[in-house]
Amino acid sequence: MEILVCVKRVPSTGGRIVLTPDGQEIDTRYLGFTVSPHEECAVEEAVRIVEGQGGSSAVLTLGPIAAEEQLRDAMAVGIDRAILLETDGREFDPIATSAAIVETVRAQEAARGPFDLILFGNEAADTGDFQVGIRVAVALDRPVVTGIKSLALRDGAAFARREAAGGGWETYDVPLPAVVSVKEGLNLPRYPSVPGRLRAKRKEVERVQPAWSQNGSVKVGLRLPEEDGARVEILGRGPEAASSVVDLLVRIGVIAS
């Protein structure tokens, strides 16, 4: 079983987001970087499949040289090798990103044989794009299933399930090779061990320099939504606050007047 996982380096969502003065980028000077929880689950699933069925796994990302950090994190939990599509820092839109991935997949498969499964996170944690996995599947003429929270491979097929409206499940049976985008909850990702990090540090990262092209989609600028203010009201101290608490509960409809 040969598996490729595609991840994206994104700012840590727990930090305060600030834009650059020109409003074109997120100011990342004081932010850490990570991949989305969806992609962490995709990495974990690839490792589990190879552990159970044999084969090998690779992780790929498109980004600046600093994105090696996320590739090594994936190798530290068990991914075999890494591919960096190295950019000069410019943001690739979904069309350019998918084109770069498709070109690299074709080159990798020509040299090493086909990937049975290509895994994506369901959407990018920073831009919310859902397109890349689907565009890659269409360009490679492979079946694609999105939003997956259960996955099994057997008899040359992928059996995938995703949550449906109303609380049920949709089940898909697609032939391999296939493209699947997964959601958080598919599994519980493991943490990299110290020996795993040491092994990952020694591994080579294959570098590819994709061509950048403008595809008609032009970013005008970014805008931060206004923050919701917080207000604290002190109703009193000790027993004398009881009547104020009752008035508040009546006002918000918790108890009848």
pLDDT at 204: 93
Report yes or no: 72 and 201 within 8 Å, Cβ to Cβ: yes
What is the pLDDT, as a whole number, of residue 15? 64
Residue 55 identity: G
Report phi then psi at 22, rounded to 5.
Answer: -85, -5
Separation between Cα atoms, residue 116 and residue 193, nearest integer Å: 28
Angle between helix 131-140 and 94-112 (nearest 10): 40
Question: Which pLDDT score is estimated for 14?
Answer: 66
Sketch the domain layout of the chain as residue ranges.
2-208
Using an 8 Å Cβ cutoff, are 85 and 91 in contact?
no
Q: What is the pLDDT of residue 117?
A: 97
Q: At what angle do helices 194-202 and 68-76 cross, to 10 degrees?
A: 130
**pLDDT at residue number 246:** 87
Mean pLDDT per segment of 10 residues, for the chain of length 257 residues? 93 73 73 87 96 96 92 96 90 88 96 96 78 95 95 94 87 95 93 92 92 70 73 82 86 81
Provide the CATH topology of domain 2-208.
Rossmann fold (3.40.50)
Q: How far apart are CA 144 and CA 158, in angstroms?
A: 10
Sequence-ordered list of residues with C-beta below 8 angstroms from that of 3, at least 6 positions apart, any chain: 46, 49, 50, 55, 56, 57, 58, 115, 116, 117, 118, 119
